[in-house]
Structure 1
Amino acid sequence: MLRGGLWAAVAAAALVSLLRLDGSAPLPQVVAFVPLLAPGLLLVLLAAGLLRARPLAAAAAALLLLQVAWAAPQVAPHPAPPRGAADLTVMTANVEVGRADPDAVVAAVRDHAVDVLVLVELTTGLADRLDAAGLARELPERVVEAREGAAGAAVYARTPLRPAGLVGGTTFPAPVAALELPGRAPLLVAAVHPVSPRPETEGAWRGDLRRLAAWSRGAGERVVVAGDLNATRDHGPFRALLGTGLVDAAEGGPGALVRPTWPADLGVPPLVRIDHVLVREGAAVPTGSRTVALPGTDHRAVVAGLAVR
């Protein structure tokens, strides 16, 4: 009976792994939890060894090696920051339809010396409360597309910003801001929020990520994409977005495997990283990343350091 249960666990892991291999496969919400297969497979491998069940051990080991191969790109180090680069700290947060604590958001901006703040699910009410809490003093420049519900987004900054349009065709508005930096060409900062991949919205989710990738390919070298992408490296459409030349600031080193951002309101650590700061290495090199708890929202914020060329 124990062997049968272990074989069932291996079969389930194999099925989920097949979904991950096929970037167009259904059930993206299941695929997001692929990294959680590794500890389970390790336990199966140990149990198979104790039972001297060689075929079971071989199957579990093969799937575990596949997990290691998928994790390897995340822990590969980023290049060293270029000489003369300017430090830039970018923070992004999903503020859960305006429910995040504005004082906590402003405190995080202040405590982490944030230069650029990207918010999604920003409502007009929260935008006003953030300014009342001091955000206008910390980050006076802004390009804001506040909306009721989950559709709002904004970019705030210390240095001048100018509107640079929208990422075309996405379900929620994805404003783009040109960030002026002394002595350097502007950076295009896109505040993005592809729709959540529920069964009824999976097609729209794929379309949002596809349109974002198309925008990234045509936006030039100096690009930062930040927000709740509702996707991880285990999703084919997200890997296609990275394939346009973007890198994830949260990757690089073993810490990349322990920086999940969602769900953050269940009294246990978050499980998956769906909030990202992505940058084209022609524009900047990531220098570190951390997550920050914000009361009132089910996401952790991401704070990323960038060495801007």
Structure 2
Amino acid sequence: MLVIVALAFAVATLVIRALPLPNNLALVIAVGSPYVVLVALLGLVVAVLNRLKVLSIAAVVVTAASVAVQVHWYYGGRSGGVAAERVDMRVLSANLRYGRTNPAEFVELARRSADLITVTELTSEAVQRFYDAGIDEEFPHSMLFPAPDAGGNGIWSRYPLTPLSPTRYWNSGMVAARVHIPGVPIDPAVASVHITSPMGSFESWRNGVTATKSRLIGLAETVGQGSVVAAGDFNSTPDMRQFRDLIADGYRDAVRHTGAGFVPTFPSDTGLPPVITIDHVLTRHTNVTSVRSVDIGGSDHRALLATVEVPIASSRS
């Protein structure tokens, strides 16, 4: 009976993962997909130990399928190599947890590791603390929309920024700008993204994913053959069909692109390692050479650090 229950649950998870999520119950099951591999493996071990031949064969198939969908996302990619003519742009993306992130620690991390910063849950108080910590000394350009609680969003940059159309991109879900990088013929677009949590309202989350997809398509149309980087808290894991559908029109997830491995980002404040991957860096017409997560004091998310190659030549990888 244990074998049948374990395998049935693993199969149900694979089916739920493959289809658009209809509600939060299905969402929670899909989010647990990386760990359901262990459930399938348990079924396999029990079936083998009890010499249940038919169930053992079924368990091998289910376990292999459960492993395959995870390996394909986290370990199946490969960076496209180093372009001969490019500018390396280092991106730091962080959820500030209602602006509670330690400002001195965050600014020092940015100074060492980033050329461009995207932040979500940016409050007015956090903006002031970041300026007090000297963020403007090395990141003099910014586009900030602070708001109470989780509503704020913003970008800091070493390079000059030109805001994109407010009617299309400025809201709590996305802030976007063109980045003026010397030697790059087409100014890339960068966006700071925050999709509302499905735990608050599943419908709001689903609508947010749909709106974000539309805005990402709009960014792609705006820059044409130029590069796009969209980073932030998507409140979505790769096991949610809606998130995978969002990555279209030439966009790629940095972790999948590089094969960086399982990079969970949330929650990071429990004393245990994070267990789910809800923060992402998406790119278009640019090669990602590295992506990793880092702890930042005061937040319940790990931040992401990614290095992307913005091509100087007119052709794009």
Q: Same fold (TM over 0.5)?
A: yes
The SS at the match of 1:269 is coil
Which residue of the partner structure matches residue 134 of structure 1?
134
Q: How many Å separate the matches in 2 of 1:166 and 1:223?
A: 17
CA–CA distance in 1 between the matches of 2:6 and 2:171?
37
Partner of 2:291: 289
Distance 2:6 2:102 in 1: 41
Partner SS for 1:251: helix
Unaligned runs of at least 5 residues, structure 2? 312-317
**Would the aligned equivalents of 1:265 and 1:298 in 2 still touch at CA under 8 Å?**
yes
Matching residue of 1:275: 279
The answer on whether the counterparts of 1:90 and 1:117 sit within 8 Å (CA) in structure 2 is: yes
Does the 8 Å CA contact 1:261/1:300 hold for their aligned counterparts? yes
Instruction: Give the deviation of 1:274 after TM superposition.
Output: 0.7
Match 1:263 to one of 257, 267, 284:
267
| Contact 2:120–2:150 under 8 Å retained in 1 | yes
Aligned-partner residue type, residue 157 of structure 1: S
SS of aligned partner of 2:256: coil
- Correspondence for 1:9 among 6, 9, 14: 6
**Counterpart AA for 1:9:** A
What are structure 1's unaligned runs of at least 5 residues? none
Distance across 2 between alignment mates of 1:52 and 1:120 = 53
For the 8 Å contact 2:258–2:288, the answer to whether it is kept is no
Aligned to 2:149: 149
CA contact (8 A) 2:258 2:289 kept: no
Secondary structure (helix, strand or coil) at the match of 2:260 reads helix
Name 2:179's counterpart in structure 1: 179
Corresponding residue number in structure 2 for 1:37: 36
Letter in 2 for 1:226: A
Output the aligned Cα RMSD: 1.9
Q: Which amino acid aligns with 1:164?
A: L
Does the alignment pair 1:234 with 2:236?
no
Residues 32 and 244 (structure 1), Cα distance of their counterparts in 2 relative to 1, 3 Å cut: farther
For residues 217 and 236 of structure 2, the distance between their equivalents in structure 1, rounded to whole angstroms, comes to 19
Asked if structure 2 preserves the Cα contact closer than 8 Å seen for 1:169 and 1:208, the reply is no
Matches within 5 A, 1:20-59: 20-27=17-24, 28-59=27-58
Q: 1:270 to 1:33 in 2, by over 3 A?
A: same
Q: Are the counterparts in 1 of residues 40 and 66 from structure 2 also a CA contact under 8 Å?
A: no
User: Match of 1:227, SS?
Assistant: strand
Could you state the TM-score of these two structures normalised by the residue count of structure 1? 0.91
Greater Cα shift, 184-193 or 298-307: 184-193
Identify if the C-alpha distance between structure 1 residues 32 and 168 changes in structure 2 by more than 3 Å, giving closer, same or farther.
farther
Superposition map of 1:290-309 within 5 A = 290-309=292-311
* Superposed displacement of residue 252, structure 1: 4.3
Q: Deviations over 1:220-265 (max 9, x none)?
A: 24211110000121111111111222111122455322x1100111
Measure how far apart 1:14 and its partner are: 2.2
Residue 161 of structure 2 aligns with an amino acid whose one-letter code is: L
Distance in 2 separating the partners of 1:20 and 1:295: 33
Amino acid in the other structure paired with 1:101: N
- Aligned residue for 1:100? 101
CA contact (8 A) 1:105 1:294 kept: yes
* CA displacement at 1:285 relative to structure 2: 0.3
Q: What letter matches 2:292 in structure 1? A: R
Distance change >3 Å, CA 219–CA 169, structure 1 → 2? closer
Amino acid at match of 1:105: F
* Stretch deviating more after TM superposition (170-179 or 20-29): 170-179
Query: Take 2:167 and 2:103, find their aligned partners in 1: how far apart are those partners?
Result: 27
Cα 1:49–1:167, aligned 2, differ >3 Å: closer, same or farther? farther
- Offset, 1:171: 7.5
TM-score, normalising length from structure 2? 0.89
3-state SS in 1 of match to 2:188: strand
Identity over aligned residues, as a percent? 30
2:164 is aligned with 1:164: yes
Letter aligned with residue 303 of structure 2: A
On the 8 A contact 2:89/2:308 being kept in 1, the answer is: yes
Q: Does the aligned pair in 2 maintain the 1:102–1:129 contact within 8 Å?
A: yes
